[in-house]
Amino acid sequence: MEWGSESVAVRRHRVGSERREGPAADYLEHITAFGPRTTGSPENEILTVQYLLEQIKLIEVQSSSLHKISVDVQRPTGSFSIDFLGGFTSYYDNITNVVVKLEPRDGAQHAVLANCHFDSVPSSPGASDDAVSCSVMLEVLRVLSTSSEALQHAVVFLFNGAEENVLQASHGFITQHPWASLIRAFINLEAAGVGGKELVFQTGPENPWLIQAYVSAAKHPFASVVAQEVFQSGVIPSETDFRIYRDFGSIPGIDLAFIENGYIYHTKYDTADRISTDSIQRAGDNILAVLKYLATSDMLAFSSEYRHGKMVFFDVLGLFVIAYPSRVGSIINYMVVMAVVLYLGKKLLQPKHKTVNYTKDFLCGLGITFISWFTSLVTVLIIAVFVSLIGQSLSWYNHFYVSICLYGTAAAAKIIFIHTLAKRFYFVNASDQYLGEVFFDISLFVHCSFLVMFTYQGLCSAFINAIWVAFPLLTKLCVHKELKQHGAQGKFIVLYLLGMFIPYIYGLYLIWAVFEMFTPILGRSGSEIPPDVALAVILAGCTMILSSYFVNFIYLARSTKKTMLTLTVVCAVTFLLVCSGTFFPYSSNPANPKPKRMILQHMTRTFHDLEGNIVKRDSGIWINGFDYTGMSHITPHIPEINDTIRAHCEENAPLCGFPWYLPVHFLIRKNWYLPAPDVSPRNPAHFRLISKEQTPWDSLKLTFEATGPSHMSFYVRAHKGATLSQWSLGNGTPVACKEGDYFVFYSHGLQASVWQFWIEVQVSGEQPEGGMVTVAVAAHYHSGEDNRSSHLDALKEKFPDWVFPFAWVCTYSLFVF
C-alpha cells in the first residue's frame, strides 16, 4: 500500500476468513490479540507497552540518518476536575504513556502532537477504540522516519494508556512531560464507532489555520463544522483527549473519529476483522499527509499569529472540503438575507389587488405552516409516548426503516392533511398557482429567519440555512416564467427539482450522518430518556425541513387523497406491528450485531455508623441496563430478574449507596439487585482514616489512605450544616456532581503507592449529631482473578446471545465521620 508518496512494504496474514494486508493491519492484530486492555492490567501495562517499544525500536533501526528518534515511557501521577457527566474529580497514579519524538538530527523547538490510546474498556478488544489509531500512528512514524525529506519541526507520537479512565493519560502528558512545552498543535485520533471514514468533528479553539492545513493536506477529507457544534453543545455524552489538550494545555488541535457502526462500539464485537483495510489505508493517508504538512510548515512555529477567528468547514459528499473564515460566512449569509428581503419586500409592499391580498395570505399561510408543524410534532410524540408506555421502545433499533415508516410517515401525513384542509376550506377562491407561490415564499421566509438567527448567534452551521435559502431562491427566479406559461407545468416541475437538487442532496447527506451517529447512541443513553420520543422529534424535524419546499405542490396538485391514504396505511400497519412486538430491538447476527448493553456488578456492601460499627451488610449482583427498555426483554429468559428485585436508594448515602463506576446515576435510575453470596477478592481494598485535626480556620481536616485494585471510586456527602470546603484533589476546590454529592474516579497502573488524600469540612453552628460527612469507597476489579465470581459467571451464561454484559466484582464500604 502507499501512504502519500511513500512506498510501504506489504505483509499478508489471515484475519478470520479475510486476507488483510499492510503493517498497520499487522500492528492492529497484535495489539488486539492481547485482549481487553484496562489500565492497571498486565495486558495494558506490560504486554502492549512491550510490543509498542519493540516495534518502535525496529522503526528506529530502519530510520534515516536525517531524523532522530527519542523514546520515553512516562508514568505520571496527578489529579484534575472536569465538568463532564455533571462534574467529578479524577486521580491517577503511575499510569503509562509511551512517547516518541521524531525530529530533525539537529533538534527542533516546535512540535506537532499525534495522540492515540492503547487501553480499552473492560470486556472489549478495543480494535476501533483505539488500537487501530495506534497502529496507524506506528506506521506513520515508520514512513516519516524513513523519508528522505527532512522535517522542519518535531512530531511527537503519544501512545497513551489511560484514555478510557476519563482522559487521565493525556492530562499526565500535557501537564507533566518535558516535551509538552514543545507542542504547538495536535491531532487526536479517536472512535465513536467501528471503521468507516474518520470524521473531523472538532477543531480549534479558534486557530483557523489548522482546518486549512487539513483541507490542503488530507487525501480523503471528511469534516463537518455541524458535528463540531453538536458535539460541543453537550448533546452527545462523551469527551475525548481533545478536551484535555484544549483546557489544560491551551493547545489547538484537530479531533478525528471513526463514526460508522456505533452499535458495537465498546463491546466484544469491536474486533480487528471488522475494520476494513480501506479504512486503515484512508486514515493512514490522511494522518501522514497532515502531520507531514504541519511538520514542514512555518505556521506551526508562529501559530499564535494565526490564532483568532473561527472557520466554516464542510465536506461535499465526502469528495472534498470547503472551508472559509466565519466572518466571510457571515457576510455571505447576510447577502443571502438581503436578497430574500428584496424579493419578499417587493411582494409584501405591492398594492392590494381587487381579488388578492398577498400580505394577508402570506401571514395566514405562515400560521397554517406553523400549525401543520406543531400538529405533526404532537402526533409523532403521542405515538412515541404510547409505544414507550406499552414497552415496545427501540423497535427500530435493529430495523431503522421502522422508524421512518412509523414516525416519518405520520409527520408527513399530518403536514399534508393540514394544508389540504387549508386549501379546501380557507383558500377557496385562490388559484393553485398563486397558492403554490405563496407557500414557496413562506418556506423561503422560514429558512431565512433561521439563517438570521443562527448567524446572529455566531453558529458556523448557518451555512446550511444559506444553502436552503440561496438555491431555492435562484430556482424560483429561474422558473417563475415557466409557471406562468399555460401548459408548461411539466417543464416547471423538472426545472424546479433540478434547482432543489443541491440543498436536498446535501440535506439528505447530513441527515444520514445524524442518524448514523445518533441511532446507536439512543441504545445506550440510559433509562431516563425515552429514545422513541427523541427519535420521533428528530424525524419530525427532518420531515418539516424536507417537506418545506414541496408544500407548494399540495396546492398545485389536484388531489392529495392517494398520498395521504398511502402514508396513513403505512403508518397504521407499522404501528400495529410495533405494538404486537414484531420488531425485536436487538440482534446477535455475527455480520451485523446490535446488542443490548448491560452492567453486572457482583458486590458486597458494608455500611458503618458514626462509631464505626457495621449497621448493614449485604451482597448481590447489581444490574444496570444502558437503555430505556430495562429488563422487559430479559425477564422471559431469566425470570429471577424482574421488577420485584428493583434496587432501592439508600437515601442517607451518596449516590444512593451503590458502587457507581462513573457518576451516571442521573441517567440510569432503574436498577435491579439480585441477592448473591459475598465476594472475597484476593486483593481486598483497604480504607481508613489516618488523622483528624482542627484547622486554625475552624474547619475539620480528615486525612484518609486507601489501597486496592486499579480502579476505585470515592464518594462524599456533606451533612446538613456542613460543607466540603477544600481537599487535596484536583485544583483544591471540591467539584460536586449532579444532585450535590462528590465523586472521585481513581485509577493506578502497576506498583502504585498508597493513595493518601485529605478533605476539609466546614461546619456552620453546632456539630450535627449524626456526624458531618458520609464517605464511601468502591473497589472495581476489572482484570485478573478477582474480576470474576462463580455466581457472576453463572448469571452471564443465562443471558441470551443478543445481550452484551459488562461484568465485574466490586466491594463497597461506607463510613460516617
Q: Catalytic positions, please?
A: 163
Residue written as cell 395570505? 361
- The dihedral region occupied by 167, where left means phi > 0, alpha psi between -120 and 50, and beta the remainder, is left
Q: What are the start-end ranges of the H helices in 431-500?
A: 432-456, 462-484, 489-499
Assigned C-alpha cell, 642: 424482574
Assigned C-alpha cell, 54: 519493540
Q: Which residues pair with 601 in a beta bridge?
A: 622, 808
Which residues have CB under 8 Å from 470's CB, separation 6+?
Answer: 336, 339
Peptide bond into 205 cis (omega under 30): yes
Q: Which residues pair with 778 in a beta bridge?
A: 713, 812
User: Helix, strand, coil % (nearest 5) of the chain?
Assistant: 45, 25, 35
DSSP annotation of 47: I
Phi, psi values for residue 548, rounded to 5° = -55, -45
DSSP string spanning 575-589? HHHHHTT-S-S-B--
DSSP string spanning 120-145? --TT---IIIIIHHHHHHHHHHHHHH
How many Cβ atoms are within 10 Å of 330's Cβ, its own excluded?
16
Assigned C-alpha cell, 802: 443478543
Contact by Cβ (8 Å): 126, 48: no
Q: How far apart are CA 593 and CA 398, in angstroms?
A: 9
Which residues have CB under 8 Å from 419's CB, separation 6+?
Answer: 368, 372, 439, 551, 554, 555
| Residue 350: Cβ-neighbour burial (10 angstroms; 0-12, 13-18, 19+) | exposed
Q: How far apart are CA 722 and CA 734, in angstroms?
A: 14
How many Cβ atoms are within 10 Å of 61's Cβ, its own excluded?
9
DSSP string spanning 238-307? ---HHHHHHHHH---EEEEEE-S-GGGTTSTT--GGGS-HHHHHHHHHHHHHHHHHHHT-HHHHTGGGG-
Stated length of the chain = 817
Counting other chains too, the contacts that 359-366 makes at CB distance below 8 Å and 24 or more residues apart are: 361/427, 361/430, 361/435, 361/438, 362/438, 362/441, 362/442, 362/445, 364/426, 365/422, 365/435, 365/438, 365/439, 365/442, 366/442, 366/445, 366/446
Amino acid (1-letter code) at residue 527 = S
CA 184 to chain centre: 26
Q: Are strands 773-781 and 803-816 parallel, antiparallel or unpaired?
A: antiparallel
Contact by Cβ (8 Å): 105, 66: yes
Contact by Cβ (8 Å): 161, 94: no
Amino acid (1-letter code) at residue 55 = Q
Q: How far apart are CA 415 and CA 222, in angstroms?
A: 35
Contact by Cβ (8 Å): 172, 237: no
Q: How far apart are CA 711 and CA 746, in angstroms?
A: 6
CA distances from residue 473 to 258, 340, 440, 655 in whole angstroms, order as listed: 36, 8, 9, 55
Peptide bond into 298 cis (omega under 30): no
